[in-house]
Chain A
Amino acid sequence: MPSYKHLIFGALILGAISVSYPAAAPCAPVPDSVTLNQSGKQFKPFSFNHAKHIQLIRECSDCHHHTTGTLVLDPNCARCHQNSSATAVVSCKGCHSATPFSPETIAAKAAQKQSYHLDMMGLKGAMHHNCIGCHSKRGAGPVGCQDCHPRSKQGDAFYSAARKGAKPAHAKEH
């Protein structure tokens, strides 16, 4: 029995397999826009122009720190994450909890006291810091509350917006 035939056949099959299951191709397509603040009550949900930001910034890790792009630029992080690889989930909510102070989250944190990044911001705080932080530094991009997400009617009532222009609250409180 010529073993060469088996060898070539096996190699062909292996080649076919390797072509059909690519090792390092992206799982999901990069979205052009993302709807943020979907469950917002005081402020309306809004559409975030992802494509524009990719065009402007290029470097993914500028926003998606630790998860994709050129990883670990910060020397403080490099101490541990020098050789880390990209993560499966790249979006913010993959690491930053939407309910950072719920009893469940707090209990979960208490259960893993050894974890290093216990002091991790929740989703709302992380997004505000990340987005507004960059916009302030670059001097371009929205920084005001309503510049990104306009307020809903409920929000106007929440902030007592109708009272704006009335006498300032600092008058005569001792």
Chain B
Amino acid sequence: MKRRNFLKACLIGGATITLGKTNKGWASGSFEGYPDAMGVLVDTTRCIGCRSCEAACNKEQGLPEPDTSFDDKSVFEEPRRPTAKAYTVVNEYEKKAPGGPVYRKMQCNHCNEPACLTSCFVNAYTKTKEGAVIYNSKVCVGCRNCMIACPFNVPGYDYESVTNPIVKKCILCYDTRLKVGRPPACVDICPQEALTFGHRADLIKMAHERIRATPDRYYDHVYGEKEVGGTSWLYLARTDFEKVGFDTTLNNEPIISNVKEFLGMVPMVLSIWPALFSGIHLLSKKEQHDEEGHDTESTQEDR
């Protein structure tokens, strides 16, 4: 092949590859959250499992009528998870414990570095400066990678819908409340004030202060302070968190850290491969080939 044609080919090949290849490695260093970000502290020692928060969320977000009434305590028989129809659920743990059962509210934890956000290839998620992780359903393709990525198994998908199935999850009542500084509906309704709303940084201090002031009441750990890079929903419990249905095997690195290694490889391959393989081609060219380099009596015989 003539040199000119070869170079032309390389240029076309190179242009083809670089078409919109904007993958960049994520910046390293940790993100502690926006300075004015809000959060919610969940004190499971106060929760009585009344499910008012589920009812409030259902009404605030215009969710469909539930399968059973929010008064129904039989739902506690099996642990539930958030779905497209229920952005938050309360589960019962330690049912036979002497101190009584423990109830735990589960919803999107609004992580500082959310896995859903990092995995979305249409950038449907946004971490707002108020702390909420919100979602733009207008660009969602329905790949459900965010559901795979979420370490807390939170996002639900609207499989039932034919024309507009989208991901559904807690948005901290961003559109209706958080934007104007008001707390989410679940916090407002809780009769036991198990949910405390405030600046995330203050809530962490408050949580540690509660542990310090009444150490017999609490297990000495604030879940969500550091897990997967820190979350906006923080938890206190009277016992080891694993007993209350939390995943205690998560480490403190945000999920993106796992992916960074591969993402960093991408520009390396894009830069090295062209030269590497073009070079090998140049090295392996033989004289016997005709103009196109094909199908002359090839001397390369296999054994």
Question: Direct contact between A and B in the complex (CB less than 8 angstroms)?
Answer: yes
Give me the interface of A with B, judged by CB distance under 8 Å: 42, 76, 100-103, 106, 109-110, 118-119, 121-122, 124-126, 128-129, 145, 158-171, 173-174
User: Is A169 within 8 A of B72, CB to CB?
Assistant: yes
| 29 examples of A-B residue contacts, CB within 8 angstroms | A76-B213, A101-B182, A101-B187, A102-B183, A103-B180, A110-B199, A118-B206, A119-B196, A119-B206, A121-B193, A124-B191, A125-B191, A128-B191, A129-B193, A145-B50, A160-B66, A160-B68, A163-B65, A163-B66, A163-B67, A164-B69, A165-B68, A167-B67, A168-B72, A168-B75, A169-B66, A169-B67, A170-B80, A173-B81
Known contacts A159-B55, A159-B71, A163-B67; is A169 also within 8 Å of B80 by CB? yes
User: Is A167 within 8 A of B68, CB to CB?
Assistant: yes
Of all A-B residue pairs in the complex, the 8 with the closest CB atoms, nearest first, are A125-B193, A103-B181, A164-B69, A170-B78, A101-B183, A101-B197, A163-B69, A159-B70
User: Is A145 within 8 A of B72, CB to CB?
Assistant: no
How distant is the Cα of A59 from the Cα of B187 in the complex, in angstroms?
Answer: 33
User: Interface centre among B67, B74, B187, by most A CB within 10 Å?
Assistant: B67
**Is B217 interfacial (CB 8 A cutoff)?**
no
User: Is B209 within 8 A of A160, CB to CB?
Assistant: no
Interface residues contributed by chain B, number (CB under 8 Å): 45
How distant is the Cα of A115 from the Cα of B80 in the complex, in angstroms?
Answer: 40
Chain A residues with Cβ under 8 A from B189's Cβ?
Answer: 42
Chain B residues with Cβ under 8 A from A121's Cβ?
Answer: 193
How distant is the Cα of A100 from the Cα of B146 in the complex, in angstroms?
Answer: 34
User: Interface centre among B76, B79, B188, by most A CB within 10 Å?
Assistant: B188
User: Is B180 within 8 A of A125, CB to CB?
Assistant: no
Chain A residues with Cβ under 8 A from B52's Cβ?
Answer: 159
Which B-chain residue is minimally distant from A103 (CB atoms)?
A: B181
Known contacts A158-B59, A173-B81; is A163 also within 8 Å of B68 by CB? yes
How distant is the Cα of A166 from the Cα of B189 in the complex, in angstroms?
Answer: 24
Nearest CB on A from B76, distance (A)? 8
**Is B210 interfacial (CB 8 A cutoff)?**
yes
User: Interface centre among B46, B72, B190, B198, by most A CB within 10 Å?
Assistant: B72
Given contacts A109-B198, A125-B46, A125-B193, 8 further A-B contacts (CB under 8 A): A102-B181, A106-B181, A122-B193, A128-B192, A128-B193, A158-B55, A168-B67, A170-B79
User: Is B190 within 8 A of A125, CB to CB?
Assistant: yes
How distant is the Cα of A55 from the Cα of B60 in the complex, in angstroms?
Answer: 43
User: Is B77 within 8 A of A162, CB to CB?
Assistant: no
**Is B44 interfacial (CB 8 A cutoff)?**
no
**Is B109 interfacial (CB 8 A cutoff)?**
no
